[in-house]
Amino acid sequence: MKRPIFLIVGCCGTGKTWVARKLIITLQLDQARKLGKMRFNWNGKIAVLGCYDGSAFQGSDKLSMAILQDLDQFFAILPKGVPVVCEGDRFTNSTFIAKVNPTILKIKGDGTEGRKNRKTKQSERQVKSIETRVNNTKEHLAFENSTKCFEYLQNELLKFQ
């Protein structure tokens, strides 16, 4: 059985981490685990990669830039067919995308409102760099906002509960 892998991409502040965090709560993925540099939540049936601890920068932002070193080991411990959700900059790169062939879900928008609401300061250079990477990543599906992305993923993942 092919493993469903979903990658949520979008500019800084579009709600990628919010989607993952809401999935963790809604689908009760309350088992926080660590394997090497990899951190993830799961319930034995669905995994969400990242560290979701309530801090301003959480999710994949909390993971090492060298996260891909532990990817094979991570997939080796998961039962076949367990879907995986990942989001953000650590996974929006050609190496990860070529290796796991995820379904890429893009949240549209420039993220200005989200960055303002979060009251964090990211450099203009960092925001532009991520925006360029997101714009150069071909998505399978695009969503007007994070709520629409969450609804889609929740419906897809409920099939595995």
The percent of residues above 70 in pLDDT, for the chain, comes to 98
- Tell me what pLDDT residue 30 has: 86
Name the pTM for this structure: 0.92
- Tell me what pLDDT residue 21 has: 95
Q: How many structural domains is the chain composed of?
A: 1
Structure tokens at 161: 């509960």
- Whichever domain contains 38, its CATH number is 3.40.50
pLDDT value at 153 more than 80: yes
Give the Cβ contact number of residue 71 at 10 Å: 18
Confidence of residue 145 (pLDDT cuts 50, 70, 90): very high
Q: How many residues does the chain have?
A: 161
**141-143 vs 103-107, strand pairing mode:** parallel
Report yes or no: 86 and 75 within 8 Å, Cβ to Cβ: no
Residue 14 DSSP code: S
How far apart CA 161 and CA 148 sit, in angstroms, is: 20
- Tell me what pLDDT residue 159 has: 92
Range of the domain at 30: 5-158
Report the range of poorest mean pLDDT among 22-26, 55-59, 131-135, 151-155: 55-59
